[in-house]
Amino acid sequence: MLLSIIIPCYNEEAVIAETYKRLTSVMQKLPHDCELIFINDGSKDRTLSILQDFAAKDLRVKVLNFSRNFGHQCAITAGLNVCNGDYAVTIDGDLQDPPEVIADMLAKMQEEKANIVYAVRKKRKGEPMWRLAAIKLFYRLLNKLSDIQIPIDTGDFRLVDRQVINQFNALEERNKYVRGLMYWMGFKQIPFYYDREARFAGETKYPFGKLLKLALTGIFYFSKKPLNIATTLGFCSVALGLVYMLWILISKLFLAEFVISGWTSTIMLIVFFGGVQLLTIGVLGKYVGNLFDEVKGRPEYIVSEKINFNK
C-alpha cells in the first residue's frame, strides 16, 4: 500500500527543511510505502532549489514546479491529479498542521472504514483574534447559503482514499474550492480532532485579501442563494416603490395642502433603488464571471518542471 503526502509550497524556504525532516521521520514509522509530492506554487524565494536538493538525494520526493503562482487550491488539485497512492493526505508546508498525527488519521480511517478523514482544529495557536472571528463567520455564512454543510474549523488537512481521489480527479470544473468539493462528493467522512500549532517560521500565505477571495469562491461555487437574495431584494424594492407611489397619489388627490415639494425623498429613493440594482448586477456578474472562466477551458495550472516522476 502506498501513501501519498501532498505538500503545497509558496515561499517556504524558512520552514521547508524542517517540514521535510518531520515528514520523513513520520514516514519511517508508518507500515506503508510513502511518496512526498511537493508542489512549488511559483515561489519567489529559494523554495524550489531546496526541493530540488531533497529530490536529488531522496527518490521518494517528487516535485511539481508551477510556471507561476496559481494558488493553494490549484496546488492541492495538482497533487491529487498526479499522486499514485492508495491513500493521500494533503498538508500545508508551514507545520501548523502536525505531520505526526498522520499515523493516527490512517488508523482511524481503517478502523472506521471511512473514505475521508478530515482534521478539525480544537485550538488555533498564533492566530490573531480578527482572523479567527472572520474564519468562523465565513463558515457559518457559507453553511447558511450552501446546500452542503461544511464542518467549522476545518481546512485542507485531510486523508482520502483512492476512490475519493479518482472521483475528485474526474471533476472538470476550474477554480476548485477543494474542501467544499470533498464534502459535496459524499462518501463516509469522519472528523479527527487536533490542536493546530503556530507557524514554525515565515508568514501566512492567506492574508485578508486571499481569504476573502477564497470565501467568495466557496459561496458562489456552492450556492445559488445569492441569486435568490438578489431577486428578493428586487421584489422588495418594487413593492416599496409601489407603496410610495400609492402614498404620493393619495396625498396629491386628498391631502394636496399638506404635500410639500422637495427633492429629499426623491434622492433617497434613487439611492435605494440604485443600490439594489447595482447589488443585483454585481451578484449576476459574479456568476457570469464564473461561467466565463469555465467555458474558456484553460488548464487550472501549468507545470514547468517535474522531478522524480519517471523514477
In DSSP notation, the chain reads -EEEEEEEESS-TTTHHHHHHHHHHHHHHSSSEEEEEEEE-S-SSSHHHHHHHHHHH-TTEEEEEESS---HHHHHHHHHHH---SEEEE--TTSSS-GGGHHHHHHHHHHHT-SEEEEEEEEETT--HHHHHHHHHHHHHHHHHSSS-PPTTEEEEEEEEHHHHHHHHH---SS--HHHHHHHH-S-EEEEEEEEPPPSSS--S--HHHHHHHHHHHHHHH-SHHHHHHHHHHHHHHHHHHHHHHHHHHHHHH-GGG----SHHHHHHHHHHHHHHHHHHHHHHHHHHHHHHHHH---S--EEEEESTT-
Average pLDDT over residues 63-86: 93
* 242 and 97, same domain (yes or no): no
* 131 and 279, same domain (yes or no): no
List the domain range (segments joined by +) for residue 150.
Answer: 2-223+300-307
Total domains in the fold of the chain: 2
Average pLDDT over residues 223-238: 69
**Alpha carbon of 283 to those of 7, 34, 87, 253, 288: distances in Å?**
34, 45, 39, 40, 9
Per-residue confidence (pLDDT) for residue 216, from 0 to 100: 66
pTM, entire model: 0.73
* 77 and 133, same domain (yes or no): yes
* 182 and 280, same domain (yes or no): no
* 63 and 75, same domain (yes or no): yes
Per-residue confidence (pLDDT) for residue 260, from 0 to 100: 55
* 158 and 272, same domain (yes or no): no
Q: Who wins on pLDDT, 180 or 250?
A: 180
Per-residue confidence (pLDDT) for residue 177, from 0 to 100: 82
pLDDT tens readout for residues 39-60: 999 899 999 999 999 999 999 9
* 241 and 186, same domain (yes or no): no
Cα 262 from chain centre = 50
* 35 and 109, same domain (yes or no): yes
pLDDT tens readout for residues 103-144: 999 999 999 999 999 988 876 555 666 666 766 676 676 666
Per-residue confidence (pLDDT) for residue 60, from 0 to 100: 93
* 234 and 185, same domain (yes or no): no
Q: How far apart are CA 99 and CA 202, in angstroms?
A: 18
Per-residue confidence (pLDDT) for residue 138, from 0 to 100: 67
Mean pLDDT score of the chain: 80
* 137 and 14, same domain (yes or no): yes
* 97 and 15, same domain (yes or no): yes
Residue 282 has pLDDT above 80, yes or no: no
pLDDT tens readout for residues 202-216: 555 555 566 666 666
